[in-house]
Structure 1
């Protein structure tokens, strides 16, 4: 593992801006390494954040409650307050991992509010990033998707920070073993029903062919730079095109010769501004961008619905976005 472990504050430096941090601890080797690094930082530096820990019991395995209780024991032994968060109610038959992930983050964000935390730290590592990039490559994702998981991103409840994203899982396992720290292995990690488990089986041969964790990480970093550049350009365009007298109305005259990628990013950003949430699938945004380009070049009008919004373009190249009226059943 990196020599940075001798300096936990450097390993977790993205958390230094926060006074209260919630650590998501599942009991696996990666999250237990995160727990020990946070405890070491706290013990060495009185200016370190206040750390709290939480474990989510999804109710999908009988052993989960026992494991959560053990994580609570390990957390308390290191002087950290712990809470087990339980996902209650009926469980889905399909899309289990996706639904469980959504439920997990919802529970963690609620607990953040309870303790006054402004950051949620997870122990995602380089192997997770490699799997994410491969899954998104297979789905034909755009630049934003190929950015993989961000080390530090905002959300409605604060910041989601992944300080261990550059480290392989094997290094985190070694770190725990060197400290005599026990951990759990989640059997779902090897369950062939799940996509990530299937990609893990392909990891070794793909690494030999050259698509290593390091190269996947470099790809995601470069894609993220491009994504941020396009988002920055789209924001500048919208600021200049905004019509002051109307909400979510823009003069698109200057978009006539803009690159298609910029049009797509501008549309996505404008839809987010209007609806408060990301637009629908990338393919639909791409199709609308093509229609918009054609309308701009032919001085035609355009009417479309996307992402819960109505998008219109008049012959003066004025683009207007409004929330789609609530549909009535039976009409």
Structure 2
């Protein structure tokens, strides 16, 4: 006789691997089943204190606060702690689902970081995976897009775990029916102005053509395997052909780069441009493809806040001076999403006064890179550029490294 809990074993395995995990619960049947299953497992293993339910009040429906309170009521009845996170916004009129998604993940990322939780578990299932794949297919996505959702990803620095991707929504709903547990219905799930709802409505016709969610999920799984291989190849090239400096720029060996397959070149450019440009999300592939096609036609290119300077044996990727965000995020001491330091004095880009400043930049440091460095001003107006002065060089560090890079050389 088959084990009724077998489809949910990946969830139980994930819960067992962490000391503190949050559960993302909206109150719908999928996430409520996730919460119920996690609570039963935690009771059996004496780990109720290791789980915490997070529910979001998006403020988009009149019933939203009541729904959030209901989720917490259910959570507490199951022995779980619960917290309501409220999304503050100006009432978006377009891209509502995308903005709401970003808003809730940012809220959960902040909460998990502040409370020492390892990440959040979501209830994304097999049909969600199929819908995501179809939506990306409609946009002409490549391997990465068509591999749909991964079992683990990172959003705003938050580890997001999806252990139910091979489980059908019917199985999740049956869990609640067997337990006699209620759930909430979100009217937005019937609103065809949203792309996902329209795709969901077309699934019956797609299945009648012989393509069901299980087959789509299997294709996504196989594409994720191909994606993993491509990412490994990109990591190897990054380690051999890219040098990253503490000044927030990098050098790419042209001969080694040009010897790579186009796919590896595209992935390398995407990683480096996102990092050097101070971005948080990948650059659109169509733009990176155009850049690769025209890379040799000019000595200078700009994309997504990054500047690329072509040289004979290499090319340099750094921050585009005109796109710098000068405001200091004082709560985390991050400047331009590139540098982190403990001092909260006035900081401005060196490029604003580089022509008048007496500081000498190393000859090896490109002018546009020097312009993008932070300069610190004291109350008297005196300034220092830590990257160019040995006495203050240790006061500032890169806030992150490009994916595939594990260390930077000392100095500039």
TM-score by length of 2: 0.73
Q: Could you say which structure has the greater relative contact order, defined with CA pairs below 8 angstroms and 6 or more residues apart? A: 1
* Cα offset, 1:239, TM superposition: 1.2
Change (3 A) 1:327 1:98: closer
Task: Give secondary structure in 1 for the equivalent of 2:108.
Answer: helix
CA deviations over 1:56-99 (Å, ceiling 9, x no partner): 11111111111111111110001111111112342111111111
* Cα offset, 1:176, TM superposition: 0.6
CA contact (8 A) 1:302 1:313 kept: yes
Residue equivalent to 1:41 = 41
CA contact (8 A) 1:301 1:314 kept: no
Change (3 A) 1:84 1:245: closer
CA contact (8 A) 1:271 1:321 kept: yes
Further displaced range: 50-59 or 40-49: 40-49
Task: Give secondary structure in 2 for the equivalent of 1:159.
Answer: strand
* Cα offset, 1:274, TM superposition: 2.5
Map of 1:164-179 to 2, 5 A cutoff? 164-179=164-179
Further displaced range: 258-267 or 48-57: 48-57
Residue equivalent to 1:30 = 30
Change (3 A) 1:276 1:215: farther
Map of 1:30-69 to 2, 5 A cutoff? 30-46=30-46, 50-69=50-69
Task: Give secondary structure in 2 for the equivalent of 1:228.
Answer: helix
Residue equivalent to 1:304 = 301
Q: What's the C-alpha RMSD, in Å, of the aligned pairs?
A: 2.2
Larger radius of gyration: 2
Residue equivalent to 2:111 = 111
TM-score by length of 1: 0.90
CA contact (8 A) 2:241 2:257 kept: no
Change (3 A) 1:88 1:47: closer
Number of aligned residue pairs: give it: 320
CA deviations over 1:134-156 (Å, ceiling 9, x no partner): 00000101111111111112345
CA deviations over 1:128-186 (Å, ceiling 9, x no partner): 11110000000101111111111112345441001111111111111110100000111
Q: Distance in 2 between matches of 1:47 and 1:149?
A: 28
Task: Give secondary structure in 2 for the equivalent of 1:12.
Answer: helix
Looking at secondary structure, tell me which structure has more helix per residue.
1
* Structure 1 stretches lacking a partner, 5+ long: none
> Are 2:210 and 1:210 equivalent residues in the alignment?
yes
